[in-house]
């Protein structure tokens, strides 16, 4: 693994996130500037197995920095879970002489990269491309800022309606296993309650909070729910805003509740300035890592400095929501 890298493959895997194109652009143009060949791998590990790979140049990434989604497409590959699938994928890399990989995605994508590297010795660099912001070792993930801002814009519009009616509005944002979009958008929009998978907020807590707000005649009642939140831990299959609302209506008779599920609009749209900036910065440093011999790490940003986390740690550890954040939510909603 100490051999000099001369040909780099780049792919996007898992869920798409705004800013992935900016990262691809940075990887391609930095590689070319450094005298390396660079290949785009379509549809993640599926394209690697199916040999859907092509050589890229500077024009391949022209006029994409402002576009959401990913020009390389993305997919989740069941075949890559099997050793035979990974062998076939590696054979396609060898056929083109690709001796280094940049994988843009989340922990599932990094798991695939880690296995490929361990089994076949190909150096891999991970770039944190996920709207969930749940990867350990970085303050930012590519796409989170755009997704959170999209949620804020939608919730602000819902607030306008909430001010006109004596109703409770429940808004579901993305986050199957992580509540960062709910946390950030909830604080930014002045939500009274924020429900996340990481925090055990019970229905009793919620009813007590809403009852107190009713006594104080609050003009607006907004509840932000991450899609992975479970209102009843004894029934973990019940998740999200719809189930939360159903159980709340059983306890709060006569209260009008409206539910909005924002869904995939949070994944789309032009990436924010922040997402374009960090994606460009990370993509540049991914190529520099391969050139310098720093392999099998996730490139992140901590305290505005580049930070390199071994892939196995980035996969195993998770970002944790601190008590400080929850204290801020409680105090500012009072």
List, by residue number, the catalytic residues.
Answer: 132
C-alpha Rg value of the chain to the nearest Å:
22
Q: What distance in Å separates the CA atoms of residue 130 and residue 135, rounded to the nearest whole number?
A: 8
The answer to whether the CB of 129 falls within 8 A of the CB of 244 is no
Tokens of 217: 């005649």
Identify the CA nearest to 262 among candidates 331, 163, 174. Answer: 174
Q: What distance in Å separates the CA atoms of residue 162 and residue 258, rounded to the nearest whole number?
A: 9
Q: What torsion do the CA atoms of 155, 156, 158, 163 make, to the nearest 10 degrees?
A: 140
The answer to whether the CB of 56 falls within 8 A of the CB of 40 is yes
Residue 76 CB contacts under 8 Å (≥ 6 apart), including other chains: 13, 14, 44, 108
Identify the CA nearest to 146 among candidates 303, 16, 332, 11. Answer: 16
Residue-wise burial string across 16-27, b where 16 or more C-beta atoms lie within 10 A, e elsewhere:
bbbbbbbbbbbb
CA 132 to chain centroid, in Å, comes to 3
């Amino acid at each position: 693994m100490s051999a000099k890298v001369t040909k780099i493959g780049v792919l996007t895997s898992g869920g798409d996130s705004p800013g992935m194109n900016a990262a691809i652009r940075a990887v391609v143009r930095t590689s070319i500037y450094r005298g390396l060949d660079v290949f785009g791998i379509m549809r993640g590990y599926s394209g690697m197995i199916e040999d859907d790979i092509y050589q890229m140049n500077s024009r391949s990434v022209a006029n994409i920095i402002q576009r959401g989604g990913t020009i390389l497409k993305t997919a989740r590959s069941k075949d890559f879970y099997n050793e035979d699938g990974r062998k076939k994928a590696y054979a396609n890399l060898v056929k083109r002489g690709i001796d280094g990989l940049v994988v843009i995605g989340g922990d599932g994508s990094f798991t695939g990269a880690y296995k490929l590297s361990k089994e076949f010795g190909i150096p891999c660099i991970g770039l944190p491309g996920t709207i969930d912001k749940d990867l350990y070792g970085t303050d930012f993930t590519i796409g989170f800022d755009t997704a959170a801002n999209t949620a804020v814009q939608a919730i602000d519009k819902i607030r306008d309606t909430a001010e006109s009616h004596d109703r409770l509005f429940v808004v579901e944002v993305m986050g199957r296993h992580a509540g960062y979009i709910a946390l950030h958008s909830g604080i930014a929009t002045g939500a009274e309650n924020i429900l996340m998978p990481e925090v055990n907020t019970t229905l009793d807590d919620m009813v007590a909070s809403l009852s107190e707000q009713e006594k104080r005649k609050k003009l607006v009642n907004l509840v932000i729910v991450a899609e992975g939140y479970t209102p009843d831990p004894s029934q973990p299959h019940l998740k999200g805003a719809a189930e939360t609302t159903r159980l709340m209506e059983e306890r709060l008779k006569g209260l009008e509740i409206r539910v909005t599920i924002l869904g995939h609009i949070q994944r789309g749209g032009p990436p924010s300035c922040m997402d374009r900036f960090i994606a460009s910065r990370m993509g540049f440093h991914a190529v520099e890592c391969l050139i310098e011999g720093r392999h099998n790490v996730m490139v992140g940003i901590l305290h505005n400095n580049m930070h390199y986390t071994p892939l196995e740690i980035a996969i195993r550890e998770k970002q944790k929501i601190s008590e400080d954040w929850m204290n801020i939510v409680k105090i500012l909603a009072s």
